[in-house]
A and B are shown apart, each in its own frame.
Chain A
Amino acid sequence: MEPALEINKLRKEYKDFKLNDISLHLPSGYIMGLIGPNGAGKTTLIKLILNMTQRKSGEIKVFGLDNLTHETDIKSRIGFVHEEPHYYGYLKVKEIRSLFSRFYTNWNNDLFFSLCGEFSLPLNKRIAALSRGTKMKLSLALALSHDADFLLMDEPTTGLDPVFRRDLLRKFSEVIQNENKTVLFSTHITSDLERTADYITYIQKGEILFSCTKDHLFETWGLVKGGNEVLNRETHRFFKGVQRGPYSFKALTADKEKVRRAFSGKNILIDKPSLDDIMFLLSKGEINA
């Protein structure tokens, strides 16, 4: 089966930031979570996929099709949720449906109204009067109502209350029951990824530091804790990021077995890292290339 998304050596340059020749691969039928600090390039990457931003070089293929040459076909198969949904504020919820439905051949009115009911969306209320969370729900309802093969979401859970966030993640899992559906979503809320994602991609300063399955990440990566006396130039190279305290350190390794062997006989503890640990140590810790 064609991968849902293939990115090769993608480059985008701004005055003070660049996305630096990144490559990414997402097979069809999986959920990929895109994490990274603010300004890492997550939104830029998503906008590049939709051709909302012009790339400098590189290639993006969605379902095997180039995203520039087959822009319209690709977008008709994508359900997009923007981090700040922008709709014509004076339209009512039901009116925006009428506007959207004409652009998608697979639009399903029954599904839309059912989702509006499920998300408690007020059909006769003007969009300008909706809260950010409700606009996000509307955005999701619109994205899910045209039988999209690929859901592309930029911070979809931001601004949502915890109850709806859980509902939404459950919805993702339901969507993915159909093995042809694929989801790529960026988020700051790492617990969302731990619940749902099959793949995790970490992006920082415009570079992908890792992109792998969640299982692989938690099987091979480790959070190493120990006294500062075991940390030296030689042992430091085993770590992706290190946080030193006055007497002890916490470090992240991409190969915990290697660390276990290298530190055998020394007093260290290797735990399973959380995504929060990984994000923190990669972004704030002393980094090894």
Chain B
Amino acid sequence: MLKHIRRELIFNQTQLYIFAGYMIVFWIWIDWQDIPFRMSLLFLSFVLPLFCAASIQAREEKFKAWTLNCSLPTNRKTLVLARLITSWSLIFAAFVFGLLFSALFQENPAFLSQFLEPKSILIFLLLSSLFLAFLLPFVIRFGISGVIIGLVALQVLGVITLLLAQTSSNKDNILRSFLHSIINTVKFFLDHDPTPGFLLLLFFSAAAVNIFTFKFSQFLFARRDF
């Protein structure tokens, strides 16, 4: 597995620099706009997996790397696992780098220390896992068009929600309820006391989501032709 992760990291070495650049801009923006902690954490949880999945895949398609990878002495299961581990490595590297960079100029150390609390890290882990679970299988199966389809689907969902909200007097339409339930769940996580049981629940939920992502990606990737 190590040789595969090494291969993935060599393949994505440019992405590491791009991620670093992105994190610099992101933290400067947070500081400049005084973005609250919760909003920053949510933003990171969604943007990092998106950036990671899309940029890895863009390189994949540029160099047609799957063709090369599938000809190496390995199987598809290992390739998918290596891709998942690399994605997480990139996300965490970007997260840590961002915090370290921010520490250089952030005047309020308490703001940064919130990101390092176990609950914050585990919420970040769970939310990122959920978004990666949404993106990675489609990216692995359908390539960059998978990312675009996923994002367009989200946008269409947003547009439909707005239209329904405007045209319907019924405040309890399904989409609105669905989105509210998501927001309420996130709020629940953020407001909950960091008891050991709750932290374990977050950890095992994130682990379960990642196992699902791996299995589903593997299922889809096994059906892909090169």
Binding site for B on A (CB under 8 A): 47, 50-54, 71-73, 75-76, 80, 82, 84, 86-91, 95, 99-100, 102-104
Contacts and interface: CB of A to CB of B under 8 A. Distances in A.
A88 B76 CA distance: 19
Contacts, number: 62
A52 B6 contact: no
B66 to A, nearest CB: 9
B71 A71 contact: no
Contact of A75 (B6, B63, B72): B72
Contacts of A99: 7, 10
Interface residues of B, number: 24
Interface string B183-209: 000000000000000000000000000
Contacts of B11: 88
B177 interface: no
Interface string B48-75: 0000000000000011110110111111
B117 interface: no
B14 interface: yes
Contact of B226 (A47, A88, A90): A47
Nearest to B11: A88
Given A99-B10, A102-B6, A103-B3, A50 B70 contact: yes
Given A82-B71, A87-B63, A102 B3 contact: yes
Given A53-B226, A102-B3, 9 more contacts: A51-B76, A52-B71, A54-B224, A75-B73, A84-B64, A86-B67, A87-B68, A90-B14, A91-B10
B71 A88 contact: no
Nearest to B7: A99
A72 B76 CA distance: 10
B34 interface: no
B129 to A, nearest CB: 28
Interface of B: 3, 6-7, 10-11, 14, 62-65, 67-68, 70-76, 222-226
Contacts of B73: 72-73, 75-76, 103-104
Contacts of B3: 102-103
A198 to B, nearest CB: 25
A125 to B, nearest CB: 16
Contacts of A103: 3, 72-74
A103 B76 CA distance: 15
A3 B85 CA distance: 39
Which 10 pairs show the lowest CB-CB distances between chains A and B? A76-B73, A75-B73, A86-B64, A102-B3, A53-B225, A52-B226, A80-B71, A52-B70, A71-B75, A86-B67
Q: Tell me if B's interface is mostly helix, strand, loop or mixed.
A: helix
Q: Tell me if A's interface is mostly helix, strand, loop or mixed.
A: loop
Given A88-B63, A103-B73, A54 B223 contact: yes
B63 A89 contact: yes
A88 B65 contact: yes
Contacts of A90: 14
A50 B65 CA distance: 15
B10 A54 contact: no
A51 B223 CA distance: 11
Contacts of B65: 86, 88
A53 B66 CA distance: 12
B74 A54 contact: no
Contacts of B76: 51
B58 to A, nearest CB: 13
12 contacts: A50-B71, A51-B75, A51-B76, A52-B225, A75-B71, A76-B73, A80-B71, A82-B71, A84-B64, A88-B65, A99-B10, A104-B73
B74 A72 contact: yes
B75 A54 contact: no
Contact of B67 (A52, A54, A72): A52
Given A76-B73, A88-B10, A54 B63 contact: no
B198 to A, nearest CB: 42
B90 to A, nearest CB: 16
A75 B64 contact: no
Contacts of B226: 47, 52-53
A198 B67 CA distance: 29
Nearest to A101: B3
Nearest to A53: B225
Contacts of A86: 63-65, 67-68
Nearest to B67: A86
Nearest to A81: B71
Contacts of B14: 90
Nearest to A102: B3
Contacts of B225: 47, 52-54
B12 to A, nearest CB: 10
